[in-house]
A and B are shown apart, each in its own frame.
Chain A
């Protein structure tokens, strides 16, 4: 094999350069293989996070490396019915892949060969151990001792002579190993065999199952490394969508790409299957509608349906039981109660205790439910699973017409899509309070950072350099507690979970001065409030009361409430909070605090590609709206607009840019501007991605000058749109899947 063959595909299904988003994980596995320190690596996979291609890529890298590490990959499949047949298949795979590696013939890995072929193909130097191995296998195979046979097969890699190299076995789909029939529990058995072998290995599968198997095998956890495989991050998932779409020749828009990432929560399994379905059906994914139509097709009859249906069939092979299971799960998922009694479930499912326990265990392994002793929580699971379950419930239990289910699933998905994106953009745009609170560790910080009015009085409008300098010289300091645990508020109050967003409202258990006594124990309840203006008394009071009530419900003896809002708090709100000894801060104060304590902020969204023809793209902020205003001034002069009209257009554009920056939670932080010159008018379109502002309806009649006066700009920040409508002749919000596109026209004659 030449150097040029280094990236040869052996088992991998995609070229290395197309394998995105798992670079660190791949390095970790390859490093583990090369270390050869006799440790096991348990790859704990989140359901649908996908690890098969990761292992196959690792295999290829090790194969192409041709070092003393002999890669061996074995995937448990649903086709194997018994532990014995799976073990025999493993033995066959080991020998085949060993020969492929030794002969440097990747094709041999995939060739349909028998054990006789193996003996034929083996180099003479290897026959001395392969031949006895095959003979012994033939003998044990007919000995009726299944356990011995399984152990013999699993021990095959240990028989490879040291001079030939060191076997490195990667097991994939380990959750299937324990479902095999027979007297041997294969998952636990292979952990026993490999745990004692002194060889490095990887066992990959669903995280709950793997840990159960390791405990069942009484594994020595000191010899095992645990590695968690989560869903992809947004950036990685974007990259995956782009690569798979390009490879599959599926046309898709940026908006759909971003929606897919959020809708599938970064799951490589669902993303890849979905795009393959688009390829199979030759569908372009340009709009949310294209996307959701295909999603519902997939949910009700495609890859996604097949995936979930298979899992349910395994859990409940009989149709009656399956239907009852769907009913119980859906009704529990929709219940206001987070947890239900296990006994109640068993009665409703009408199955024997042993069978029931097995079903519940499988639901738990797949993370469709959280099973905790006597209670079960079915509100968990991915959105895709919930969509599938709902459709299955409507079809199987309610017997709704299929057309109705299809239509309503599409309409519901379409209605949900903008909210999904809005939630994501808000999350990307806001500071996650959990890491901030988690960084509290007895640091001393200026007290003014927790008192908005004092901060505002002293620092508002101050130059940044001066502000930093004065903050640094603040003498009045407070000592933060040492945080020992941070969780979302809804984890403490499941009944009010809708009121709390996970990262914006947290409870932090802490100790003052880091001294672990009752007297020093304290709890901080922190909420980041959404408000474009200074928070007023009503909003501040409602949040104070909510957190205060949460503290009392949970019997927190000493607690501190801290409210944060983008623009701070007005005087009455600040006074109220001060009376209750609560802290209040603006986002700016929080940012300074973060600088002071060195907390890690959420990653900013990566910019996307540049604009196309006649589109001027301006980054949001930094007074860049002036650049747009200057550009339009030049264009308007060519059209001989009078100075007053030019100023009006400039002001309108400045307002449109500010509006886009302030309201959109834009993922790319860019404003797209198009200027179109026509004989009697100038048409300016200002677009941004992100959230559709609540004051922008689909009904453009709301934008008429007559009605605009009704809006009355109750809030001063609402003045922007009012100004735009007053300064331009026509203003129209154009329909887009996300964000806004504001089209403004100024006629020459009206100047």
Chain B
């Protein structure tokens, strides 16, 4: 397993959607880096976040708690969050801890962006 420690989180923008790439192991350290990158993207004006878990093989509970924090932050900023390319084992953990109630899952990045387009075209109900 290639352990990611201290490397910068990769990301790029598609319109107002930021795609942020999680590393192979999601823990406190890498989770905080993702959180920092997400905050930066939101501060830069992004209105949606896609966190791509294609490389993620293992997650721990602290990493998951940080993801929940990111969802809170995005919610406060009025931004949507989609998790893309999450493997089955990780989905199982997200379900166990109730994360999937707060976030949409997509098979891959493209599907995530499409999902977000759908959100954006839906008028907000008050």
Residue A31 is within 8 A (CB to CB) of chain B in the complex: no
Give the chain B neighbours of A651 by CB distance below 8 A.
58-60, 89, 93
Residues of B27-68 at the interface with A, using a CB-CB cut-off of 8 Å, are: 27, 29, 32-37, 39, 58-62, 64-65, 68
Residues of A700-751 at the interface with B, using a CB-CB cut-off of 8 Å, are: 713, 716-717, 719-720, 722-723, 726
Residue of B nearest to A659 (CB): B61
Q: Which residue of B3, B25, B61, B89 contacts A648 across the interface (Cβ within 8 Å)?
A: B89
Q: Which residue of A464, A629, A713 contacts B58 across the interface (Cβ within 8 Å)?
A: A629
Give the chain A neighbours of B61 by CB distance below 8 A.
655, 658, 716-717, 719-720, 723
Residue B96 is within 8 A (CB to CB) of chain A in the complex: yes
Q: Is the CB of A723 within 8 A of B93?
A: yes
Residue of A nearest to B29 (CB): A623
Residue B124 is within 8 A (CB to CB) of chain A in the complex: no
Q: Which residue of A461, A463, A648, A658 contacts B60 across the interface (Cβ within 8 Å)?
A: A658
Q: How far apart sit A460 and B34, CA to CA, in the bound complex (Å)?
A: 11
Q: How far apart sit A720 and B96, CA to CA, in the bound complex (Å)?
A: 11
Give the chain B neighbours of A335 by CB distance below 8 A.
none
Q: How far apart sit A461 and B35, CA to CA, in the bound complex (Å)?
A: 7
Give the chain A neighbours of B93 by CB distance below 8 A.
651, 723
Q: Is the CB of A623 within 8 A of B89?
A: no
A234, chain B: closest CB distance, angstroms: 29
Q: Is the CB of A647 within 8 A of B89?
A: yes
Q: How far apart sit A463 and B30, CA to CA, in the bound complex (Å)?
A: 10
Q: How far apart sit A457 and B88, CA to CA, in the bound complex (Å)?
A: 33
Residues of A279-332 at the interface with B, using a CB-CB cut-off of 8 Å, are: none
Give the chain A neighbours of B88 by CB distance below 8 A.
644
Q: Is the CB of B96 within 8 A of A460?
A: no
Q: Is the interface of B mostly helix, strand, loop or mixed?
A: helix
Give the chain A neighbours of B8 by CB distance below 8 A.
463
For A463, A650, A655, A719, the residue with the greatest tally of chain B CB atoms inside 10 Å of its CB is A719
Q: Which residue of A460, A625, A647 contacts B35 across the interface (Cβ within 8 Å)?
A: A460
Q: Which residue of B32, B34, B58 contacts A654 across the interface (Cβ within 8 Å)?
A: B58
Residue A462 is within 8 A (CB to CB) of chain B in the complex: yes
Q: If A460-B36, A461-B36 touch, does A722 touch B89 (CB 8 Å cutoff)?
A: no
Q: How far apart sit A461 and B73, CA to CA, in the bound complex (Å)?
A: 15
Q: How far apart sit A720 and B28, CA to CA, in the bound complex (Å)?
A: 13
Give the chain A neighbours of B64 by CB distance below 8 A.
716, 719
Q: Is the CB of B62 within 8 A of A460?
A: no
Give the chain B neighbours of A461 by CB distance below 8 A.
32-37
A647, chain B: closest CB distance, angstroms: 4
Q: If A651-B93, A719-B65 touch, does A626 touch B3 (CB 8 Å cutoff)?
A: yes
Q: Is the CB of B65 within 8 A of A717?
A: yes
Residue of B nearest to A721 (CB): B61
Residue B121 is within 8 A (CB to CB) of chain A in the complex: no
Residue of A nearest to B89 (CB): A647
Residue A630 is within 8 A (CB to CB) of chain B in the complex: yes
Q: If A463-B6, A719-B64, A723-B97 touch, does A630 touch B36 (CB 8 Å cutoff)?
A: no
B65, chain A: closest CB distance, angstroms: 4
Residue B125 is within 8 A (CB to CB) of chain A in the complex: no
Give the chain B neighbours of A464 by CB distance below 8 A.
6
Q: How far apart sit A716 and B66, CA to CA, in the bound complex (Å)?
A: 9
For A654, A713, A717, A722, the residue with the greatest tally of chain B CB atoms inside 10 Å of its CB is A654
A619, chain B: closest CB distance, angstroms: 15
Residue B1 is within 8 A (CB to CB) of chain A in the complex: yes
Q: Is the CB of A623 within 8 A of B27?
A: yes
Q: Is the CB of B33 within 8 A of A655?
A: no
Q: Which residue of A629, A658, A726 contacts B62 across the interface (Cβ within 8 Å)?
A: A658
Q: Is the CB of A630 within 8 A of B68?
A: no
Interface flags for A621-648 (1: CB within 8 Å of B; 0: not) read 0010110011000000000000010011
A394, chain B: closest CB distance, angstroms: 48
Residue of A nearest to B60 (CB): A654
Residue of A nearest to B33 (CB): A461
Q: How far apart sit A648 and B62, CA to CA, in the bound complex (Å)?
A: 16
Give the chain A neighbours of B65 by CB distance below 8 A.
716-717, 719
Residue of A nearest to B65 (CB): A716
Give the chain A neighbours of B89 by CB distance below 8 A.
644, 647-648, 651
B40, chain A: closest CB distance, angstroms: 10
Residues of B73-97 at the interface with A, using a CB-CB cut-off of 8 Å, are: 88-89, 93, 96-97
B18, chain A: closest CB distance, angstroms: 15
A391, chain B: closest CB distance, angstroms: 47
Q: How far apart sit A462 and B35, CA to CA, in the bound complex (Å)?
A: 10
4 closest Cβ pairs, A-B complex: A461-B36, A461-B32, A716-B65, A719-B61
Question: Residues on B close to A: CB < 8 A?
Answer: 1, 3, 5-6, 8, 25, 27, 29, 32-37, 39, 58-62, 64-65, 68, 88-89, 93, 96-97
11 contacts between A and B (CB under 8 A): A460-B32, A461-B34, A463-B8, A626-B58, A644-B88, A651-B58, A655-B61, A717-B62, A720-B61, A723-B61, A723-B97
